[in-house]
A and B are shown apart, each in its own frame.
Chain A
């Protein structure tokens, strides 16, 4: 289902949580809302779910205005960070809840509900745990139950609020893949909120980066990472060395470091260089290598420039032995933004 957010505004007291947000979500898309805490990403998600109502603007589902429709009427599946399972019900009862509360002829027969619960347990790989209570499950299992409960009602859109936030790193990784698999299997339009850029880049078809109630950039993970639209996105998505300096005549300079900055107006500016965009270069500037350590297939190098700026460089393992003492490096690519 396509979802349109049209200049939505929402204030909590005097503090604006959403500031004229526009967003189009395509049918079957897996979208990440990425931002630091307080950026408004959860408020935006809850507005789509009907758990929060905007002060201004519109929310459209398939072109139909649902701005003030209740959550119960929207047919959304919502997964909460703290699972929000019904503790007094078994796993099977939890999953069946959305079908159980239907009235009259909308309510499927018992056998059909039981079948659906079985299918969903299979989908999230929790077969045989239907009669357990949520307290008897691990965090990862609980979140899977929450996911299948949301999917049971065949929602037109699946919304997840920091779904992996309360889980440890290993479980988080496997659940991420699981969500992608479930999304691909069901084809349901999915929006999830996260503050973890790695999660957003790995999982999503498109990423919307939020900051202070605004969408700073929306694009594929590649676009957001490689062509950041603003200084905030550049600093928030991916690793980056940042330098405060000045632009003059299309060149950025900060001490010994100079970078091309065509199109940036003269004056104070900030430059971001990704660690892997630094490389050994005899024409570059001199740095002192302080520490070299392995980072998977790469080598991470901590170094200091002669004027005392710390920089981080990523190099191939083969290059590692050459980082010793004083070496010359240069930036292959940089993002410069006027301050």
Chain B
């Protein structure tokens, strides 16, 4: 759903991205011999922007904590594959009605049982409009959901203590895949009495729990200790987890080098050229489920849904030297895009038909641009890419603009908006008159999540107002197909349409860049860029 906005050094780190459970069943069971299982791991984070309620936490700062202290029906392992956590089974015949069975005898850390009601009540709470939960849209496919009024989820039915059923408005084959996302976590009975108090001092059922009532030191850190009652696939191999809140990635990185931090999951851009040297084999740089692009709305002059628009979009795409920019500006911490999703997602492909439009090809770009000029001359116009300047985007926007400028011989530049709020407002109310930066971090590891919300007709985050019935049909077909391989084929075909229309110009996938200290080992990063903290051991 959303993207991190990287702080540029000062204080702008307002990460808005979504989390998901991270887990790894295979390597989680045994630890290295010298490891001290009582040692506390320190990791970087940022002050949660919302109370710690799963359905109200939609950014990485709070998400990391939520994932550590709650356990949902499933969790995602390092590769993004869902593994059962609290659920014993999730079954369906038609991808529309699901029967979910929960493992017996599980409790929250305050002793409340984890049962069917823990899930159903939490979901009802999260979906209700008047509760104003930021993640309410996750329940939109469940029968009874309404955006406009308070309306109970009639699709949720408790069968017995440990069984409940979910009925969707229409078939969604990837629904089980979504259930590892934090919006679907259970809540204890005690939470509903005073949700505000719960948000400050949450009680969960995950591998960790808050060390004390005052564990959350606002703007400084949160102390988590191991929850011995947790018995899922994410059993902690260390004595606890302290998440230190940083205002900037630079500060966190300095602490890693200074030996005050064990695990870092975001290397600041000022260290891109040095972190491999600084950290040696303790540096991490691997693709993640983050897709970066810029969107050219069809309402812009010269970029309409016609021959000229398509030629110009293709020309601009081919004028961007992605490998050089990812190499020089990002020092290899981005991977040039070859589709509209991410390499860590099952079904990703680097050989879609028409993907050559994403390759740097100055001659072809010039040719297509000239053909478009023959239809309607470009003149002295400037091609601009809007971005929020509080998020550290200026560098790559400049580089992309220069690339376009140098190849096509037109004026191109960035168009900065001071704040993220201002940029989002201009994009949302459609007053923006330029191309604009767009990015997407997946909520759950599925192709549909990268496509449906962004490019389907009238989809919530379709900020460029793209619409193509063929694309919609393929998407619909894919999401109602039970077999995931067949579904992914549909999604790939849908992307081939996108490669022709280019509603957004794919740029690159953000890698997760991080590192860890000398005293910790067994550090592995999940599909969602968050380290699997529970696996880490410390000597």
**Chain B associates with chain A:** no
